Amino acid sequence: MSGFAKPLKIAFGLIVIAALIVVPMNFNRYGLFILSQWAVMAIAAMGLNLTLGYAGQVSLAQGAFVGIGAYAAAIMTTHGWPLPAAIVVAIALSFAVGWVLGYPALRVQHHYLAFVTLAFSTLAFLVFRNESWLTGGIYGISNIPRPHIFSIATNKPLPFYYVCLGSLAIVSLAVWWLIRSPWGRAFMALRENPLRAQSLGVDTRRYTLMAFAIGSALGGVAGALYAPLTQYIDPVPFNLSLSLDLLMMVIVGGAGFFLGPFLGAMIAVLLPEWLRFTEGYYLMLYAIAVMGLLIWSPTGILGILDRYLAERRTKAASAQRAVAKSRLETVQ
């Protein structure tokens, strides 16, 4: 069975990627917007998954980093800078701010850390709203241009969807590399047992700061794509509720699982749309579905799969032990 598992996984992955490229060609403008939003939110959730799911550092500020990235991109591109340059600045800015925000995590943990990051989220929102000379205040920034990629205009929804999808692919590969590297193992050690990690030479201070900074930088990338996607930004989308939405995406998908943010973002962005046929009840049904899922599986959707696989492994190991025991008894 295990011999088939890897090719099966690769085949399934290729089918999903092909579907994400081909199927949206027939989507209308709104469908493409929702799918692009899914890709953007999946990037932001992947960042939070790194900070929270892998490194175990609670953050309620990911929405603020999406805002920082969005404003950096909006300000730069409306002043004639190309989007790739704006993305680099968004990454650098979010990384630096995320690094600084990581310092409280060296002293406080869990819900105390959540409150520190919540305060930062509020602070960022106030800056977006009140510093109108830079951010446009409550009127926001409009006419945010979409880029030309290799001389191809991405003004229309389909080309820009491919920009979002391509960015998601690049970020996914980078995160996949990171979590499989010794850094990923060190992040996990930081989450599971910081005391033991320290005694094995893991510099928990630097890894904590890195987990915050890299996770925040991915929030910045998402923001830098969000601005040209909506082509207008104001402070409201980046308030605390976005951070809570992103947290829900990570937890519902499965914190600490690579594919968790993809599924979580799918549920948070797409499920309400699919439920729209219920008209006035769609948000209620959505809330009930999420509550039901988390009661059934607090470790998220991928937690269910993980539990199933763990049970199978345990059964196989028990069977092996039983066979070994019976052989031993036969010999005796």
Partner 1 sequence: MSAVLEVTDIKKNFGGISAVGGVSFDVREGEILGLIGPNGCGKSTLFNCILGQLTPSGGEVKLDGKVVTGLRPAELNKLGVSRTFQLLQVFPKLSVRENLILAGQEHQGSMASRLVGRSDAGLTEAANQMIGFFKLDHLAEEPAGGLSYGQQKLLDAAMAFMGGPRLVLLDEPAGGVNPSMLTDLKERLVAINREKNATFVVIEHNMEFVMSLCSRVMVMAEGTVLAMGRPDEVRKDPAVIEAYLGH
Residues that bind partner 1 (CB under 8 A): 178, 180-183, 185-186, 188-189, 192-193, 195-196, 198-206, 313-314, 317
Of the candidates 297, 316, 302, the one whose C-alpha atom is nearest the C-alpha of residue 259 is: 302
Give a three-class secondary structure readout of 4-73.
Answer: HHHHHHHHHHHHHHHHHHHHHHHCCHHHHHHHHHHHHHHHHHHHHHHHHHHCCCCCCCHHHHHHHHHHHH
Minimal distance in Å, beta carbon 201 to partner 1?
Answer: 4
Q: Which is nearer to partner 1, 6 or 79 (CB)?
A: 6
CA 20 to chain CA centroid, Å, is 18
Minimal distance in Å, beta carbon 225 to partner 1?
Answer: 24
Q: Which is nearer to partner 1, 202 or 222 (CB)?
A: 202
Class of residue 242 by CB neighbours under 10 A (exposed 0-12, middle 13-18, buried 19+): buried
Q: Which is nearer to partner 1, 142 or 314 (CB)?
A: 314
Q: Which is nearer to partner 1, 14 or 324 (CB)?
A: 324
Q: Which is nearer to partner 1, 88 or 174 (CB)?
A: 174
Minimal distance in Å, beta carbon 288 to partner 1?
Answer: 32
Q: What is the b/e burial string over 209-222, where b = at least 16 CB atoms within 10 angstroms of the residue's CB? A: bbbbbbbbbbbbbb
Minimal distance in Å, beta carbon 101 to partner 1?
Answer: 20
Minimal distance in Å, beta carbon 189 to partner 1?
Answer: 6
